[in-house]
A and B are shown apart, each in its own frame.
Chain A
Amino acid sequence: MIRFLFDRDTWQEVWDSLGKNKLRSVLTMVGVWWGILLLIGLLGSAKGIENAFNRLFGDFATNSVFIWGQSTSKPFKGFQEGKIVRLSLSDAKRIEENIEGVDFVVPRNQNQGFASRKMFSGNFSIAGDYPMLDFVQKKNLLKGRFINQNDINENKKTAVISENVYMQLFDKDENAIGQYIQVNGINFTVIGVFEESNINMGPSSDMHIPFSTFQQIFKQGDKIGWMMITGKPEYDIKQIEADAKLLLKNLNKIHPEDKRAFGSVNLGDAFSKITGFLKGMQFLTWFVGIATLIAGVFAIGGILLITVKERTKEIGVRRALGATPYEVKRQIVVEAVFLTIIAGLMGIISGGWILIVIDSQFGQGEEATFVNASVSISIVFIPLIILVVLGTLIGLIPAFKATSIKPIEALREE
């Protein structure tokens, strides 16, 4: 059999019989070609979306939740319904100490402020932050650095400003680092400029200043706006959220069943929904692709079956000339496999072209929908192997049909 596959005559025979009717051969291959093209195109696109998504969320600790206080919906322990709930630094500390699986808790505050420099001014949202924010929501710094522990300890008047603030308060190409800006009448040194992210957890901030400094300026005491809780990777963030809320209710004398007292956004939950969606899309892609492939291979089988009927006489002649049934079957199976492989390879190539087009049209730039839309070679081999196996199996049907006709019937003069 191996010798047969490397025999030039084998391929001469295949080539002759397929080349005899080019249109038929091409039409036969369309199904498989289309199936592979779909599979490669869809898989590549799904990968591109996944990549784009990972790039978008790459800056975030996705296993996190953020919680803020609202107002109570139930009276409890002498307090009326509608009590305003505000979280405090001690709440954050207690959560970090008592809730299992918490990696860290980052308290945050935010307020509106008026900033000015020379002739320029504007209203901006100003956030009081700890250095830890950089862990859960990575700041893409264009220049300088983020707030550090020293800034906090010494209540330094330092500010990390967004690119947008920079553009409003500074001249083009002016170096902002070390320059002073006035925030609510107080001088701050600019220590960094960050690039605004497409996605924000919670309200976006134009300017970050040390948390301790924020407390002083806005007279917040130890009250905080909200906190970001990050869970260790092996812990379920939904459980952490529930535990944290229960603890907070306990600490703040709120009814355990009160659903309104705290608001929260669970990023881990949202993230797992989206990754689940991506997984589903990938599954769908495989499903559709493989199903189309199977349909394509069946089309090849069907057309070869018709072809065998057309070729009844030829097969009869070959058998009268001494072709054994095995030789006839082998010939037809090889034709089927050859057609499927050629169609498959063409599908892979044109699928690749489609991915190139997708990449050049939608895959460029920061906000691309498809990032590096591609399929790895090893993935490509899977449908190819499926094709060879299916092609062989499906080729057996017309092959057996061909030899089930006795040569005498095949040769009968009409």
Chain B
Amino acid sequence: MLKISDLHKSYPIGDSSLHVLKGINLSVESGEMVAIMGSSGSGKSTLLNIIGILDEADSGVYILDGVEIKNLTEKKAAVYRNKFLGFIFQSFNLINYKNAIENVALPLYYQGLKRKERQKKALFHLGKVGLADWADHLPSELSGGQKQRVAIARALAANPKLLLADEPTGALDTQTSYEIMAFLQQLNDEGKTLLIVTHEEDIAAMCKRVVRLRDGVILEDKNVEQVRASQYV
């Protein structure tokens, strides 16, 4: 699914530069559910951004679904993001003046789908996250958990190969967090590949594999016994 080798990234800070990623090697197979862990400043968000084609590495190789991601134009990057990737954010990042179904349909709009088809697909995915009845509600009328589920439906809408979640439960209480995790596990059971950035141990334990980063290098990369979130729900 994705293969990263000897990835380096540094950010300029004033006259010097901050070396954030110092040679990352990582490969993820299709169907995996990977937690990327680390304290703040460990480089986990930077790694996720590079994987998400939101940022570019200074050196190293990144192959996504057989395509080398390198020196992309903004246009091409946009097309790849749309086709390969689904994003889930900590603060949901729903567009606040669009209702649930319109938010879910947005990636389909950028795919150039016809309106009717978009609506149909969006409603299907909203149904999958159990919010078909909330299709006409604005984000402000939804709870945190519901917002995140709309965001997940939106990430799923374009049928991406890889779901990237940046602290998906960071803004939610424990109970809701587990609900969201149970849902993500279910998606993984259905075959979706997930990459989840988190700093919470319990969330990481619900994945199948945990990659620990510290100071820009991978400290530990091991498969774990998945804790099913559904038992807490």
A: which residues have CB within 8 A of B? 8-9, 16-17, 19-20, 313-314, 316-327, 403, 406-408, 411, 413
Cα A17 to Cα B89 with chains together (Å): 22
Among the listed B54, B111, B167, which residue makes an inter-chain contact with A322, where contact means beta carbons less than 8 Å apart? Answer: B111
Known pairs A320-B52, A406-B54; A16 contacts B107 (CB<8 A): no
B93 at the interface (CB under 8 A from A): yes
Cα A313 to Cα B89 with chains together (Å): 12
Can you list 27 A-B pairs, Cβ within 8 angstroms, ordered by A? A8-B115, A9-B115, A16-B102, A19-B97, A20-B96, A314-B95, A317-B89, A318-B95, A318-B106, A318-B110, A319-B78, A320-B52, A320-B54, A320-B81, A321-B82, A321-B106, A321-B107, A321-B110, A321-B158, A322-B78, A322-B83, A323-B110, A324-B79, A327-B110, A406-B55, A407-B54, A413-B90
B91/A322 in contact, CB under 8 A: no
Tell me the B52-111 residues at the A interface (CB within 8 Å): 52, 54-55, 74-75, 78-79, 81-83, 87, 89-91, 93, 95-98, 102, 106-107, 109-111
Among the listed A9, A324, A326, A407, which residue makes an inter-chain contact with B109, where contact means beta carbons less than 8 Å apart? Answer: A9
Cα A324 to Cα B112 with chains together (Å): 12
B49 at the interface (CB under 8 A from A): yes
Cα A319 to Cα B81 with chains together (Å): 8
B154 at the interface (CB under 8 A from A): yes
Known pairs A8-B115, A406-B54; A324 contacts B78 (CB<8 A): yes
Q: Which residue of chain B is the closest to A318 with respect to CB atoms?
A: B106
Cα A323 to Cα B89 with chains together (Å): 17
Besides A321-B110, A322-B82, 7 new A-B residue pairs in contact (Cβ under 8 A), listed by A number: A20-B97, A322-B110, A323-B78, A325-B74, A326-B75, A408-B55, A413-B166
Among the listed A16, A318, A321, A322, which residue makes an inter-chain contact with B97, where contact means beta carbons less than 8 Å apart? Answer: A16
Total chain B interface residues with beta-carbon distance under 8 A: 31
Q: Which residue of chain B is the closest to A412 with respect to CB atoms?
A: B45
Cα A411 to Cα B79 with chains together (Å): 18
B-side contacts of A323, CB under 8 Å: 78, 110
A411/B93 in contact, CB under 8 A: yes
A317/B74 in contact, CB under 8 A: no
Q: How far is the CB of B137 from chain A (nearest CB, A)?
A: 15
A413/B91 in contact, CB under 8 A: yes
A-side contacts of B90, CB under 8 Å: 413
A-side contacts of B107, CB under 8 Å: 321-322
A322/B79 in contact, CB under 8 A: yes
Cα A9 to Cα B54 with chains together (Å): 26
A-side contacts of B109, CB under 8 Å: 9
A317/B95 in contact, CB under 8 A: yes
Cα A9 to Cα B109 with chains together (Å): 8
Among the listed B78, B91, B106, B115, which residue makes an inter-chain contact with A325, where contact means beta carbons less than 8 Å apart? Answer: B78
Q: Which residue of chain B is the closest to A325 with respect to CB atoms?
A: B74
Among the listed B74, B81, B97, B154, which residue makes an inter-chain contact with A17, where contact means beta carbons less than 8 Å apart? Answer: B97
Among the listed B83, B93, B111, B167, which residue makes an inter-chain contact with A317, where contact means beta carbons less than 8 Å apart? Answer: B93
Q: Which residue of chain A is the closest to B81 with respect to CB atoms?
A: A322
Q: Which residue of chain A is the closest to B111 with respect to CB atoms?
A: A322
B81/A408 in contact, CB under 8 A: no
B-side contacts of A319, CB under 8 Å: 78, 81
A-side contacts of B54, CB under 8 Å: 320, 406-408, 411
Cα A102 to Cα B128 with chains together (Å): 96
A-side contacts of B166, CB under 8 Å: 413
Q: Which residue of chain B is the closest to A314 with respect to CB atoms?
A: B95
- Which 8 A-B pairs give the minimum distances between C-beta atoms? A322-B82, A20-B97, A322-B110, A408-B54, A324-B78, A321-B107, A324-B75, A317-B93
Cα A338 to Cα B52 with chains together (Å): 34
Among the listed A16, A316, A411, A413, which residue makes an inter-chain contact with B98, where contact means beta carbons less than 8 Å apart? Answer: A16
Q: Which of A17, A318, A320, A403 has the most CB of B within 10 A?
A: A320
Cα A322 to Cα B108 with chains together (Å): 9
Q: Which residue of chain A is the closest to B93 with respect to CB atoms?
A: A317
Cα A325 to Cα B79 with chains together (Å): 11
Tell me the B157-177 residues at the A interface (CB within 8 Å): 158, 166-167
Cα A382 to Cα B74 with chains together (Å): 38
A324/B74 in contact, CB under 8 A: yes
Q: Which of A8, A17, A317, A321 has the most CB of B within 10 A?
A: A321
Known pairs A20-B97, A313-B93; A321 contacts B81 (CB<8 A): yes
Cα A326 to Cα B79 with chains together (Å): 12
Q: How far is the CB of A227 from chain B (nearest CB, A)?
A: 79
Cα A16 to Cα B87 with chains together (Å): 23
Cα A77 to Cα B214 with chains together (Å): 120
B-side contacts of A8, CB under 8 Å: 115
A403/B93 in contact, CB under 8 A: no
Q: How far is the CB of A180 from chain B (nearest CB, A)?
A: 89
A-side contacts of B115, CB under 8 Å: 8-9
Known pairs A323-B78, A325-B75; A411 contacts B89 (CB<8 A): yes
Q: Which residue of chain A is the closest to B76 with respect to CB atoms?
A: A324
Q: How far is the CB of B167 from chain A (nearest CB, A)?
A: 8
A408/B49 in contact, CB under 8 A: yes
Cα A408 to Cα B167 with chains together (Å): 15
Cα A20 to Cα B109 with chains together (Å): 19
Q: Which residue of chain B is the closest to A311 with respect to CB atoms?
A: B95
A-side contacts of B93, CB under 8 Å: 313, 316-317, 320, 411
Q: Which residue of chain A is the closest to B91 with respect to CB atoms?
A: A413
Q: How far is the CB of A201 from chain B (nearest CB, A)?
A: 69
Interface string of B23-56 (1 = CB under 8 A from A): 0000000000000000000000000010010110
Cα A330 to Cα B192 with chains together (Å): 34
B-side contacts of A318, CB under 8 Å: 95, 106, 110
B-side contacts of A326, CB under 8 Å: 75
Q: Which residue of chain B is the closest to A321 with respect to CB atoms?
A: B107
